[in-house]
Amino acid sequence: MRSRRSLVLTIVTALLASVPAHAADPERSSVTAPQAAGEEVSTSWTGTSPPGVNPTSECSAPGEASEDRHEITIEVPAGTYDRVSVDYTFQITWVDANQDLILSVEGPEGQVLGSSDGGSPTETVILPDLPAGTYTAVTCAFAAGPTAYEGTLIATANAKGSGALPPAADPRGLAFSAAVPADIQRDEGEPLIEIDGDGTIYTCGPTGFSQANEYAQASTDGGDQFNLLGEPPRGQLSVGGGGGDCGLAVAPERNEAGNFQLAYTGLSGLLNFATATSGDRGATFTSSPISESRPGVDRQWNAFTDADTVFLTYNQVIPRAVTVQRSDDGGLTYGEPVVVSPNPDFPGPVRSLPPELNPGGDLPALYYPWSRAGSQVMLAVSLDEGDTWNNCLLVEGQGDVSQLFVVADHDTNGDLYVVYSDNADYNIRMVRLANEKLVNCTGGTDASNEAFKAPVGATAPVVVNREPVRTALFPWIVAGDRGRIAVSYYGTETEGPADSAEPKTWHVYLAQSLDAGTAGATFSQVQVTTHPHHYDQICLFGISCTTGGDRSLVDFFSIDLNPATGEIVGVFNRAHKRPGDGAGEVSTPLVFRQIGGPSLAGGTISNPDLVPLRTRSEDPEGDAVADYSSQLVPPTRRQVPAADVLANEIGPAIDLETGEPLEGGGFTVTIDVADLSDEALQEALASAKAQSLLWIFRYVDGYRYSAASARWSPFEGFTFGHNGFVGSAGECGTPGSEETSQDQCLQYPGGTPLRGDVDQETGRIRITVPLELLVGLTDDQGPGETPEEFPATPGTRIYTASTFAMANPFSPTQEVQSFLEPLDNAPSMDFLVPGASAPAGPDQAPPAPAPDDAPSPTLPATGGPGWVLGALFVLAAGAGLRRRYPGASR
């Protein structure tokens, strides 16, 4: 293992070097696209990558180190892609695993089409159906001396279409709620969910190294309403650091206080992890800015084995390996790092088995799946609570299985179920490993050991997704009683690579199997989201996506089983992207919960009050809380009756003075609050340390959210306004607009006046939204399609609507907003615009198009995450490390 000092010296030397670009041998070659399914053509070259460093995982980025280039002219006879689909696999290999190279592929105009920076002595970029032209394979160093390599391009023709998928089983009433935002403001990518034994739901996700913080929330009512964790109003979990990836874990046993311990880790600039632990369900956190890890770390996962023992697994950058550390104080401090799995692609989440399910001993067992060499799904196992580890092969994929994380869970019998995405046909697959076969995993931690690569005895893989999903990715799995599992994924009816330019409409799907422990496992499948959550490309190239694709959904989303209710609960991202946009914007975490169908814990779930399409949502009294969580000092947790949302209800748009229908239509939302007296309003400001209050009725119409809000301050009294998508123009707190939005957070200025009134005596708020401010979505969501917006009419469906009570600590008016403190919200619902009767389906055909000069019902927004590359250059120059792999520096 090279020391950090030698690594930095190598990088400094490379940075000072001025080496011109090299040409490979030969400098150029050509191939003609194969014409028949199964046919393969190839070309090869050799070269030497000059010494250097590159902080962006992309050879052709500005500031790049010297590089080696090979040009390939691809000829495509007319009609080729009508007959077959062709995968172009660019690959480089080298001998010395201590050297770390990058492969980028440039298009005919010099644009980067894809990059690979996995750290192992092989890098691969697969691009589908390339147009005719000259492409360049560019090789450069991440952190390496002169390195000889061999390059190949293999073009493989595949039959159009992947064939019929297995039939779906009867879902038996499996259904889910409308998704509620865990946070309507903060940017929180690749959200993780963990649920403790009492049913407390925790969600968490990164917002980026520059913010030095992840955001997290907690729900104690099954996932209808969430409170911000960490020091308000921002929600700071640690005393410093974090921002790149979020790890959470909950203990399987109660601590001395009778709670389930919560552990947090946050990736800090690839150098270390910020840590925190809470023994009181997130009320207070004890934290540390470092995790005693060696610098050069990436995507981490955590798991408890008892009330206070936590294991931390992560990708060590150099030497490339999955590394494990142990904590005996609930996840605050960690012991010496131990290398377990060499040369991984990506490590999946670590899990623990209780002693009674350990087939090889009487201690808790640990395991995690990981991908290797592109196509291998591996398993790492410890049967002695982390003292020793073994690796073994679970399955060889048909194609690349490292897009992205392999995920596993176990049922109550201890049988393991592992899911992965296979780019051979863009499907999700699952294998099962019987509990008793865990003892067959004996490959140790040395990849040269024959048993390391030996199959452990898993079942043959089975396809999980069903029609109409033709491309699926980001699988996550949760298991319950024996043979009962659920698998979630993003899916589209458009078949092909997720990162291709072809139009796509994406939804969240969930497949459930009640017989996964049998040879003939069957799966039902339901669409979880009631409207699309993303459009077009989902980039799978990690940090390289910031210059060549849309990574606004980052690299995964997750589900869990609520042991208190038996419900499946999940959290996913919506980045507010519109069809044709280059990338999404702020990644909002949204939570769904099971409301019907078979429970993974046995029995049946039934919660008809949360059926998505309705006109009213109710929320319990007494759950509006200010100062919910803090660092070290216990928070006051004051109830805030003026922010205690009891219900919101949709009715026809009316003149609030006369009660007569509003000409032109729309809707009136009535919001019931526990107490809106002058005394309650003043107490709310004092409890939340705020200057103003907001009651925001937030909904999605068309591609993005809109909001109708009531606002109050002692200086202005009550005012009412509407806004569409408004993002901050930088970090949260920077003024934004609907025309020029950036990353980091969403704002609710309500700049368009609305009609509203307040009855302080009854606690009733009413706001009328005219029809002219509403839009709908057409039903064009099939293969190669994206829906269009149209001016709403009576019967148009509006999505994921809910009232949020918020406090603004920074200003008495909403022209200035930084971090808002969430106080309460009602469960989400969909509703139909009141008026003439209309089908209750998600969409309907649009009316005749408006004239070209008619005003648009929504305002455009542009921008995206542009700060990441600059931050990474700073990291590379200062410490020789940077974000390299999917998992999520944003």
| pLDDT, greater one: 859 or 646 | 646
* Phi, psi (degrees; rounded to nearest 5) at 376: -105, 130
Residue 15 above 50 pLDDT? no
Distance CA 233, CA 457 (A): 51
Confidence of residue 736 (pLDDT cuts 50, 70, 90): low
Residue 798 above 50 pLDDT? yes
| pLDDT, greater one: 403 or 42 | 42
pTM of the full structure: 0.82
Residue 38 above 60 pLDDT? yes
| pLDDT, greater one: 291 or 667 | 667
**For strand 22-32 and strand 67-75, is the pairing parallel, antiparallel, or unpaired?**
parallel
Six token digits for residue 794: 């009576």
* Element holding 573 (H helix, E strand): strand 568-574
Instruction: Supply the mean pLDDT for the chain.
Output: 87
Q: Three-state DSSP class for 286?
A: strand
What is the structure's pLDDT at 682? Answer: 98
Confidence of residue 882 (pLDDT cuts 50, 70, 90): very low
Render pLDDT for 128-143 as a digit per residue (tens, 0 to 9).
788 999 999 999 988 7
Q: Looking at residues 747-754, what average pLDDT do you find?
A: 96
Six token digits for residue 666: 């729309």
Distance CA 151, CA 59 (A): 15
Closest by Cα among 720, 724, 725, 718 to 709: 720
Render pLDDT for 496-520 as a digit per residue (tens, 0 to 9).
888 887 899 999 999 999 999 998 8
Beta bridge partners of 486: 478, 512
Position of tokens 């009602």? 826
Confidence of residue 178 (pLDDT cuts 50, 70, 90): very high
Distance CA 825, CA 801 (A): 11
Q: How far is CA 648 from CA 178, 332, 420, 531, in A?
A: 15, 42, 41, 21
Confidence of residue 735 (pLDDT cuts 50, 70, 90): low
Closest by Cα among 265, 263, 237 to 631: 237
Q: Looking at residues 183-191, what average pLDDT do you find?
A: 92
What is the structure's pLDDT at 20? Answer: 47
Residue 62 above 70 pLDDT? no
Q: Looking at residues 384-391, what average pLDDT do you find?
A: 98
Residue 551 above 90 pLDDT? no
Q: Looking at residues 666-690, what average pLDDT do you find?
A: 98
What is the structure's pLDDT at 860? Answer: 28
Beta bridge partners of 420: 429
What is the structure's pLDDT at 212? Answer: 64
Could you tell me the residue ranges of all domains in the chain? Answer: 4-160, 638-832
Render pLDDT for 280-331 as a digit per residue (tens, 0 to 9).
999 999 999 888 888 888 899 999 999 999 999 999 988 899 999 999 999 9
Beta bridge partners of 746: 727
Q: Do residues 798 and 612 touch, judged by C-beta distance below 8 A?
A: no
Distance CA 666, CA 834 (A): 7
What is the structure's pLDDT at 26? Answer: 94
Domain 4-160 class, CATH top level = mainly beta
| pLDDT, greater one: 522 or 404 | 522
Q: How far apart are the first and last CA of the chain?
A: 29
What is the structure's pLDDT at 115? Answer: 78
Residue 730 above 50 pLDDT? yes
What is the structure's pLDDT at 546? Answer: 52
Q: Do residues 420 and 345 touch, judged by C-beta distance below 8 A?
A: no
Q: Do residues 507 and 527 touch, judged by C-beta distance below 8 A?
A: yes
What is the structure's pLDDT at 641? Answer: 99
What is the structure's pLDDT at 373? Answer: 86
Residue 3 above 60 pLDDT? no
What is the structure's pLDDT at 772? Answer: 97
What is the structure's pLDDT at 471? Answer: 95
Q: Do residues 856 and 271 touch, judged by C-beta distance below 8 A?
A: no
Q: Percent helix, strand, coil in the chain (nearest 5)?
A: 10, 40, 50
Lowest mean pLDDT among 58-62, 78-82, 610-614: 58-62
What is the structure's pLDDT at 733? Answer: 66
| pLDDT, greater one: 750 or 424 | 750
What is the structure's pLDDT at 118? Answer: 66
Six token digits for residue 301: 């996962």
What is the structure's pLDDT at 206? Answer: 87
Residue 702 above 80 pLDDT? yes
| pLDDT, greater one: 743 or 173 | 173
Residue 598 above 90 pLDDT? yes
Residue 844 above 60 pLDDT? no
Closest by Cα among 23, 152, 150 to 93: 150
Residue 754 above 50 pLDDT? yes
Residue 881 above 70 pLDDT? no
Q: What string of DSSP letters covers 384-432?
A: STTSS-EEEEEEE-SS---SS--EEEE-TT--EEEEEEETTTTEEEEEE
Q: Do residues 593 and 177 touch, judged by C-beta distance below 8 A?
A: yes
Confidence of residue 376 (pLDDT cuts 50, 70, 90): very high
What is the structure's pLDDT at 647? Answer: 99
Residue 849 above 60 pLDDT? no
Render pLDDT for 766-787 as a digit per residue (tens, 0 to 9).
999 999 999 999 999 999 999 9
